[in-house]
Structure 1
Amino acid sequence: MATNIPNTDIWRPGSFTKNFSWGSPSAGLSELHSIIRLGFNDEMKDVPRHEFRTRVRSAGRPEYIPVNFFLFNKSIGGVDHLCADELVFQALNWDHSPRFDKLALFAFLLSLAGRWSRARREQRRPALWANAYVRELIAGKRNWETKGISADDIERFVRADPRYQAETTRKLATNLNYLFIGGRLKEMNTTRIERWWVDCLFLALDRIIEERRIDRLATPPSEYADLLTDYGFLELTGPSTLEKRLAIKHLVTLYDACGGRGRFSEDATKERTLTLVPDVQFFVKNDPRPRGAVHSTNPRVLKSIPAACAMLAKYAGFNDLSPDDLEEFDLAEFVKRNTQAALDRLKQENIEPSMTAEELMKLMRGE
């Protein structure tokens, strides 16, 4: 399959070597969180790039790094826009948190910024040195051992690589190390599925599909999982495990059922619901807050979705969680409650075991 991944031969830092002015890294990426809310005016819809920049600049905030490295750009009707995708969805609907920090760092590492007027070719993938540092060194050679990460380590990496074509290395290295601390890179070194990881998968698909649309490439759902592999999703989000690889299949199904980035449009979601679930009335919720979709085979596969997507999530094999249940979700309690419900159903249907526990153990031992 030809993925047509944008050029990766040249690394240029661009405005990344400027002073961020984002405060202490101990505050995480809270500045980016507030900048996104400000620039999008708390509305979950694509915004003209010049409007976003004007709002942010008028508030005395730095706008170059957010629009050129963290958000996705595309032309709509000949006007440059910033896309409302999973990163924006999380920023607008939840307060700043470590979960947002890791999602935002992933957006930066994925390094898909789209295209805008007068942008150079290499700006479509503006942070490939960071992408390569994590994929090739941290994930590839060090198996996600993060103890050695530092500005000095980053500087040695870019200096030794012929793909990096710029005179400055120190400021880039210190800025990237700042992002790794604020974005909690070391916390991404986990074998378990966590909610930020699930959010990252949706964001990756949002960006990859929009990137391909710029080049007029169709992206059928059958290619989603392969594209995640091609763009290094697993390498960029911690150690690869069987649990994560199995979860990708379920999450790709959910993403497709919800209509991709169309999940943020209630009209598009309504049309899709009536198409996929024609025997059910469109699911209208009085509570506009996002809901949860949790997979029955693994409750760690939990995704926050727009309220209108509830029926589509059920169509994809996920259980629906109310906004309050989503916020207060307790993994152990969920497993206990669902196990008890399954046992109660078996009892109601008069289904009983056909062998004793001792006989079962003998069978398991091959006796």
Structure 2
Amino acid sequence: MADEAEIWRPGSFTKNFSWGRPSAGLLELHEIIRLGFDGEMQDVPREDFRKRVRPTGRPDYIPINFFLFNKTVRGVDYLCADELVFQAINWSHSKRFDMLALFSFNLSLVGRWTRARREQRRPALWANAYIRERVAGALDWNTRTVTADDIERFVKADPRYRAETTRKLSTNLNYLFIGGRLRDFPTPHIERWWVDCLFLALDRVVEERLLDGEVTLPSQYVRLLNRYGFLELTGKVTLEKELAIRHLVALYDACGGRQRFSEDAVRERTNTLLPDVEYFAANDHRPRGAVHKTNPRILKSIPPACAMLARYAGFEDLSPDELEEFDLEEFVKRRTQAALAQLKENGVRPTMTAEDLMKLMRGE
């Protein structure tokens, strides 16, 4: 595993990627990922990705060296199709994608490729430390204090940073924070981008460990999320988020980790976990939704083949249309009405009047 105490080198991040206007967010990254993977959820040779991007005149070193995950298989360098790619391919550019992509950058786990230097496995540890130690730690997620000047003071004062320039890195990083909507990270509640970040973190951590021959067991997922600072990197830590992690880890495990993107692997896993249920291939190839019954904010988009596995993990399955039109308040209202109707059908009746209940609450 790459050592987190390594020196920090900015590498090519100090060059100009031409992100466009801040209001455009990380649209350029979204388009490059879709183009480089040719719209397919399959690992792609790094050189094929670069060939597809080259005619656009867009630089590719920032996406492939700082945002995506690299690995070498039988001498060929690949870019992995993981949660970040899944979101880019299946949805139009959005704020949710921007926040997931920024998390990917801050997590700073990008794997290894031929001739990569040791420190390139975690190329943005200076951003990771700035978020965990400065923003989450000292500032308690007060993002109004985050500026290029504040970033520059942080890296200048840290002996781990070894580079001739600090200003260009600081202005580039601040620009990325604006485009990636860092200001919206401190929400106390679970949102869909946060749920996507958890799946991406596990995709990256598991692949990172495999590079060193370490197999990750599902029982290790929560501990590893803590080790890599998942909660600190994704806004304020709340009880709701801490409770949600175990439900989402169960869903991630049930769907087979990164194998969730392979229909053959999902079919085999379904037959293993649900031997009495006949597997069926979804006619609609759009992603479905998985929402947890204890908290409908825990909503995850999943490949359609994972529908039965989501139910196995204690989630309710949503059709592609239900996922796209999901309304939290309406969902809670419908489920409450259904529960009351079921109680009525079962003959369950209240044993006290509304007046009795009010007296009880007043302590009378």
Aligned ranges 1:330-345 → 2 under 5 Å: 330-345=327-342
Whole-angstrom CA distance in 1 between matches of 2:66 and 2:143: 23
Whole-angstrom CA distance in 2 between matches of 1:366 and 1:279: 53
Report the 3-state secondary structure (helix = DSSP H, G, I; strand = E; otherwise coil) of the residue aligned with 1:301. strand
Report the 3-state secondary structure (helix = DSSP H, G, I; strand = E; otherwise coil) of the residue aligned with 2:289. strand
Aligned ranges 1:60-209 → 2 under 5 Å: 60-209=57-206
The answer (yes or no) to whether the contact 2:2–2:121 under 8 Å persists in 1 is no
Provide the TM-score with structure 2 as the length reference.
0.97
Report the 3-state secondary structure (helix = DSSP H, G, I; strand = E; otherwise coil) of the residue aligned with 2:176. helix
Report the 3-state secondary structure (helix = DSSP H, G, I; strand = E; otherwise coil) of the residue aligned with 2:72. strand
Q: Residue 303 of structure 1 corresponds to which residue in structure 2?
A: 300
Report the 3-state secondary structure (helix = DSSP H, G, I; strand = E; otherwise coil) of the residue aligned with 2:144. coil
Whole-angstrom CA distance in 2 between matches of 1:211 and 1:99: 24
Counterpart residue identity of residue 353, structure 1: P
How far is the alpha carbon of 1:358 from its aligned partner? 5.1
Larger CA deviation: 53-62 vs 158-167: 53-62
CA offset digits 1:110-155 (Å, max 9, x no partner): 0001011111111000000000111000001111001111111111
Provide structure 1 residue ranges, at least 5 long, that are not aligned to the other structure: none
The answer (yes or no) to whether the contact 1:295–1:319 under 8 Å persists in 2 is yes
Whole-angstrom CA distance in 2 between matches of 1:22 and 1:133: 21
1:268 aligns with 2:265: yes
Whole-angstrom CA distance in 2 between matches of 1:331 and 1:7: 39
Larger CA deviation: 125-134 vs 6-15: 6-15
How far is the alpha carbon of 1:13 from its aligned partner? 0.3
The answer (yes or no) to whether the contact 1:102–1:183 under 8 Å persists in 2 is yes
Q: Residue 223 of structure 2 corresponds to which residue in structure 1?
A: 226
1:141 to 1:260, Cα distance in 2 relative to 1, 3 A: same
How far is the alpha carbon of 1:195 from its aligned partner? 0.4
Of 45, 49, 74, 2:46 maps to 49
How far is the alpha carbon of 1:101 from its aligned partner? 0.2
Report the 3-state secondary structure (helix = DSSP H, G, I; strand = E; otherwise coil) of the residue aligned with 1:325. helix
Whole-angstrom CA distance in 1 between matches of 2:8 and 2:233: 18
CA offset digits 1:36-64 (Å, max 9, x no partner): 01100111100001111111122211100
Larger CA deviation: 351-360 vs 246-255: 351-360
Whole-angstrom CA distance in 2 between matches of 1:60 and 1:269: 38
Larger CA deviation: 171-180 vs 277-286: 277-286
Percent of aligned positions that are identical: 74
The answer (yes or no) to whether the contact 2:2–2:119 under 8 Å persists in 1 is no
Counterpart residue identity of residue 303, structure 1: K
Report the 3-state secondary structure (helix = DSSP H, G, I; strand = E; otherwise coil) of the residue aligned with 1:10. coil
Report the 3-state secondary structure (helix = DSSP H, G, I; strand = E; otherwise coil) of the residue aligned with 2:340. helix
Q: Residue 214 of structure 1 corresponds to which residue in structure 2?
A: 211
The answer (yes or no) to whether the contact 2:251–2:310 under 8 Å persists in 1 is yes
How far is the alpha carbon of 1:16 from its aligned partner? 0.4
Counterpart residue identity of residue 8, structure 1: A
How far is the alpha carbon of 1:326 from its aligned partner? 0.5
Report the 3-state secondary structure (helix = DSSP H, G, I; strand = E; otherwise coil) of the residue aligned with 1:320. strand
Whole-angstrom CA distance in 2 between matches of 1:139 and 1:358: 48
Q: Residue 252 of structure 1 corresponds to which residue in structure 2?
A: 249
Whole-angstrom CA distance in 2 between matches of 1:312 and 1:365: 47
The answer (yes or no) to whether the contact 1:33–1:96 under 8 Å persists in 2 is yes
1:36 aligns with 2:41: no
Whole-angstrom CA distance in 2 between matches of 1:202 and 1:157: 30
Name the Cα RMSD after superposition. Answer: 1.3
Provide structure 2 residue ranges, at least 5 long, that are not aligned to the other structure: none
1:11 aligns with 2:35: no
